[in-house]
């Protein structure tokens, strides 16, 4: 129960050590209570703190900014191991990294000191507030407005489906500073917790990831100082899309962790469940399902590792991030579905772990850009002339 998951070819001794630490944490501390947290929609505050204590909240952030200064592959390993035990905690984890990425890539010296350092060192949690009731994939439709007032800003509007919103210490929030200009008129802001004029809906009742709360965030003439602006005025659109490209690789790791758990559960069940006097794993029909699951999962994990290397070498992540997310999340759904097929009626019962994985994995093909958006991005890149 405490052994690390299977390594990916090319992992270093440092990667192996990271995997051992987070695999042990996930199996000893996360997995035992995952079902209960899901049933009660209980936010795992203590486990989020433990991620900070394990130096897991800024793995790929430079040491000078409070992180560990490791590569992206190390970050993916930690996310994958957490997701193996509890997809909901992994969703909280990846949402933190998404918000943190705004400050890591675009924060100035003051913002890095105030926000990035505590976020990376585990003393604070981040959220990312982009989506609105009328603006999902089309960020140019964002209606939340930030208008200049004296030497500061006043924000009005709402955001929805925001992970970590009420629990976060800071939200990286996007609003229109140039009405009528679409995505070219967006800007990014740091919204600290406890700012007057900010309120939240009750946690949204979701199909899965039930202990990872999401909220609608209401902004009623929220005043922020000039220093709250992140990056250049009117550059919020490129900021959002750039950090989402990086975050998609994290989602791929999350999907791979869920799929690994489903494959392990299916293999174990196939060895224990007997029909016609023998374990069902001896039947070719089951072996074919398990073989397909294993092959597709290994391909998805290698794809995520490739995308991580692309990020570390400074490549444009539009293509690599989209490929990693598309391959891993679609694979995850197929693997979990096949695991349920192998479990039969036992997997379909409410309260079974396979049933929870099935509910948890479905949203991965929607958030941080739907599978269709990923294919459009990949297709546009593939249509460009190449040498």
Torsion of CA 193, 198, 199, 200, to 10 degrees: -60
309-327 residues labelled b (16+ CB within 10 A) or e (exposed): ebbeeeeebbbbbbbbbbb
Strands 170-176 and 126-129: parallel
Q: Whole-angstrom Cα distance, residue 47 to residue 32?
A: 12
**Residue pointed to by tokens 């965030």:** 217
Annotated catalytic residue: which of 81, 132, 355, 368?
368
Q: Whole-angstrom Cα distance, residue 348 to residue 353?
A: 10
Q: CA geometry: angle at 290 spanning 288 and 291, to 5°?
A: 65
Residue 271 to residues 283, 339, 385, Cα–Cα distance (Å): 11, 13, 50
Instruction: Report the 10 Å Cβ neighbour count for 134.
Output: 11
Cβ 305 vs Cβ 10: under 8 Å: yes
User: And the tokens for 142?
Assistant: 């964002």
Torsion of CA 95, 377, 370, 348, to 10 degrees: -100
**Residue pointed to by tokens 């060192």:** 121
Q: Known catalytic residue: 330?
A: no
Q: CA geometry: angle at 286 spanning 284 and 290, to 5°?
A: 115
Strands 186-192 and 126-129: unpaired
Residues identified as active-site: 368
């Amino acid at each position: 129960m405490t052994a690390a998951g299977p390594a990916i070819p090319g992992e270093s001794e440092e990667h192996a050590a990271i995997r051992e630490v987070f695999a042990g944490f996930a199996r000893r501390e996360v997995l035992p209570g995952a079902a209960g947290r899901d049933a009660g929609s209980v936010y795992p505050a203590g486990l989020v703190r433990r991620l900070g204590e394990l130096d897991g909240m800024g793995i790929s952030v430079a040491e000078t900014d409070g992180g560990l200064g490791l590569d992206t592959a190390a970050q993916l390993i930690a996310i994958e191991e957490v997701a193996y035990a509890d997809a909901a905690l992994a969703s909280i984890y990846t949402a933190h990294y998404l918000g943190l990425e705004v400050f890591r890539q675009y924060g100035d010296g003051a913002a890095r000191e105030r926000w990035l350092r505590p976020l990376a060192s585990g003393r604070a949690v981040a959220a990312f507030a982009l989506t609105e009731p009328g603006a999902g994939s089309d960020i140019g439709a964002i209606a939340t407005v930030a208008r200049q007032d004296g030497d500061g800003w006043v924000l009005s509007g709402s955001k929805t489906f925001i992970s970590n919103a009420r629990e976060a210490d800071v939200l990286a929030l996007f609003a229109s500073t140039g009405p009528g200009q679409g995505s070219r008129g967006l800007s990014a802001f740091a919204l600290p917790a406890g700012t007057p004029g900010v309120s939240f809906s009750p946690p949204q009742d979701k199909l899965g990831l039930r202990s990872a709360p999401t909220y609608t965030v209401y902004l009623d003439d929220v005043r922020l100082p000039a220093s709250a602006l992140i990056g250049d005025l009117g550059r919020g659109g490129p900021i959002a899309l750039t950090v989402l490209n990086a975050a998609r690789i994290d989602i791929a790791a999350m999907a791979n962790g869920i799929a690994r758990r489903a494959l392990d559960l299916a293999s174990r069940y196939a060895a224990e469940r007997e029909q016609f006097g023998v374990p069902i794993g001896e039947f070719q029909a089951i072996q074919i399902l398990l073989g397909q699951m294993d092959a597709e999962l290994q391909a998805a994990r290698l794809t995520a590792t490739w995308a991580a290397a692309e990020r570390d070498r400074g490549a444009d992540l539009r293509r690599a991030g989209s490929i990693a997310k598309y391959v891993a999340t679609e694979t995850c759904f197929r693997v979990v579905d096949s695991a349920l097929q192998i479990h039969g009626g036992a997997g379909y019962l409410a309260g079974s772990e396979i049933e929870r994985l099935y509910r948890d994995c479905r949203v991965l093909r929607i958030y941080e850009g739907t599978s269709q958006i990923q294919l459009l991005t990949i297709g546009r890149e593939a249509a460009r002339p190449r040498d």
